[in-house]
């Protein structure tokens, strides 16, 4: 982190930028290679769960990190996507990929409604409205007959992708999940690095100026909100397929909190942050489950340490300020 802020020697600075560029190229490639061989090292279902949550956190980060909107209702989209996918796969007998599409579209529709209402306010009011509407959706799920209340929806066998590839095989399922998550991540990356994404960041940094430049801020925010909701729904649907179940846990407000936590631990406004954050979170959740430590207390301590000591998250803090996210 020897980062010369000023100085006559331009050489090291250029070298540093160049090496930062190489690192930036190298990290995704290493991550991709790791993802391809991960199921041979780790338990595949665990890695799949991590991938689902990584996509969920990345979708959430699209809103919090790049648009500056803190939604506390993302469980509705994640759980909604899970329920929609599970329902159409189980009851209508659709193939998994069609189920995912339904889950994504359903969550997008939900996002459109909730976003359109919540975005009429900003700041803490926006956050509270998303929470309230997500809770409404939770109680709807609690009572609606198709969700089977607290019994949850259990899917039968995993079915065949495109009617051909057997997803009952752990490896087939793994590479399917990996492919979907990579597509989702790519969409987010394209989105963030497009003119649309630039406008979102300008809204985040100075909303008044964006308005004065003539952008219809409201529409851009809603666009980002729906996008984030749809990708959360995709993650939820994927999780429903992996675990063959959709339950109230996915729509409960705790889930909205967990995704905030994952993003915070990893680093808000960085591409890799949510992935790292969800990895840490899921690993803790799973490994502590079989230990003698109280899971919830340790999670709370991790959160506190994160907020107090490294506010920019694991990824945010290990990157130099210029190339890392803001918020420091």
Partner 1 sequence: MRKILMSATCLGALSVPAMAEVSDGVVKIGILNDQSGVYADFGGKYSVAAAEMAVEDFGGKVLDAPVQVINADHQNKPDVASNIARQWYDTEQVDAIMELTTSSVGLAVQALSLEKKKITINTGAATTELTGPACTPFGFHWAYDTHALAVGTGGAIVDQGGDSWFFLTADYAFGYALEGSTSEVVTAKGGTVAGSVRHPLATTDFSSFLLQAQSSGAKVIGLANAGLDTQNSIKQAAEFGIVTSGQRLAALLFTLAEVHGLGLDVAQGLTLTESFYWDRNDESREFATRFKERTGMMPNMNHAGTYSAVMSYLKAIEAAGTDETEAVAAKLHELPVSDAFTQTGKVGPNGRLISDVYLFEVKSPDESTGEFDYYKLLATIPGDQAYADPAQSGCPLVQ
Site for partner 1 in 280-309 (CB under 8 A): 285-286, 288-290, 294-297
Query: Least distance in Å: CB of 316 to partner 1?
Result: 28
List the x/- string, 42-61, binding to partner 1 by CB under 8 A: -x-xx--x------------
Cβ neighbours, 10 Å, residue 253: 16
Query: Least distance in Å: CB of 41 to partner 1?
Result: 12
Cα 272 from Cα 296, distance rounded (Å): 25
Residue closer to partner 1 by CB (options 148, 326) is 148
Cα 243 from Cα 158, distance rounded (Å): 9
Binder to partner 1 among 20, 249, 321, 327 (CB under 8 A)? Answer: 249
Distances (CA, A) of 257 to 15, 96, 144, 308, 318: 41, 28, 24, 18, 24
Q: Does 244 bind partner 1 (CB under 8 A)?
A: yes
Binder to partner 1 among 54, 238, 248, 319 (CB under 8 A)? Answer: 248
Distances (CA, A) of 48 to 43, 181, 191: 9, 10, 24
Query: Least distance in Å: CB of 170 to partner 1?
Result: 8
Cα 323 from Cα 312, distance rounded (Å): 13
Query: Least distance in Å: CB of 265 to partner 1?
Result: 18
Residue closer to partner 1 by CB (options 67, 278) is 278
Binder to partner 1 among 92, 139, 146, 186 (CB under 8 A)? Answer: 139
Task: Confirm if 134 and 140 have CB atoms less than 8 A apart.
Answer: no
Query: Least distance in Å: CB of 183 to partner 1?
Result: 22
C-alpha dihedral sign at 144, 150, 156, 157: positive
Cβ neighbours, 10 Å, residue 123: 9
Task: Confirm if 211 and 225 have CB atoms less than 8 A apart.
Answer: no
List the x/- string, 142-161, binding to partner 1 by CB under 8 A: xx----xxxxx-x--x----
Contact partners, residue 241, CB within 8 Å, separation at least 6: 85, 89, 96, 99, 100, 155, 158, 167, 173, 177
Length of the chain: 328
Query: Least distance in Å: CB of 171 to partner 1?
Result: 13
Number of residues near partner 1 (by CB under 8 A): 31
Q: Does 22 bind partner 1 (CB under 8 A)?
A: no
**Binding footprint of partner 1 on the chain (CB under 8 A):** 43, 45-46, 49, 139, 142-143, 148-152, 154, 157, 239, 243-245, 247-250, 285-286, 288-290, 294-297
């Amino acid at each position: 982190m020897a980062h010369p802020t000023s100085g006559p020697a331009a050489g090291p600075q250029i070298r540093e930028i160049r090496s930062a560029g190489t690192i930036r190229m190298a990290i995704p490639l290493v991550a991709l290679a790791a993802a391809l061989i991960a199921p041979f090292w780790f338990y595949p279902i665990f890695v799949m769960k991590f991938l689902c949550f990584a996509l969920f956190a990345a979708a959430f980060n699209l809103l919090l990190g790049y648009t500056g909107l803190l939604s506390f209702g993302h469980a509705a989209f994640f759980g909604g996507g899970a329920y929609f996918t599970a329902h159409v796969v189980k009851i209508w007998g659709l193939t998994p990929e069609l189920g995912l599409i339904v889950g994504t579209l359903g969550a997008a529709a939900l996002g459109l409604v909730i976003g359109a209402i919540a975005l009429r306010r900003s700041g803490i009011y926006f956050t509270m409205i998303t929470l309230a509407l997500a809770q409404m959706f939770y109680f709807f799920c609690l009572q609606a007959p198709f969700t089977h209340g607290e019994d949850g929806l259990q899917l039968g066998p995993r079915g065949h992708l495109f009617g051909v590839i057997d997803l009952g095989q752990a490896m087939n399922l793994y590479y399917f999940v990996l492919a979907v998550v990579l597509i989702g991540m790519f969409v987010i990356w394209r989105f963030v690095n497009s003119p649309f994404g630039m406008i979102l960041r300008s809204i985040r940094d100075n909303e008044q100026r964006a308005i004065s430049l003539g952008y219809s801020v409201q529409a851009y925010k809603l666009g980002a909100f729906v996008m984030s909701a749809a990708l959360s729904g995709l993650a939820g649907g994927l999780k429903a397929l992996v675990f063959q179940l959709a339950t109230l846990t996915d729509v409960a407000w705790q889930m909205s909190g967990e995704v905030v936590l994952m993003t915070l631990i990893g680093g808000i406004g960085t591409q890799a942050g949510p992935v790292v954050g969800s990895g840490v979170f899921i690993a803790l959740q799973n490994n502590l489950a079989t230990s003698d430590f109280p899971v919830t207390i340790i999670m709370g301590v991790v959160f506190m340490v994160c907020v107090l000591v490294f506010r920019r998250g694991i990824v945010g803090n290990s990157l130099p300020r210029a190339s890392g996210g803001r918020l420091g």
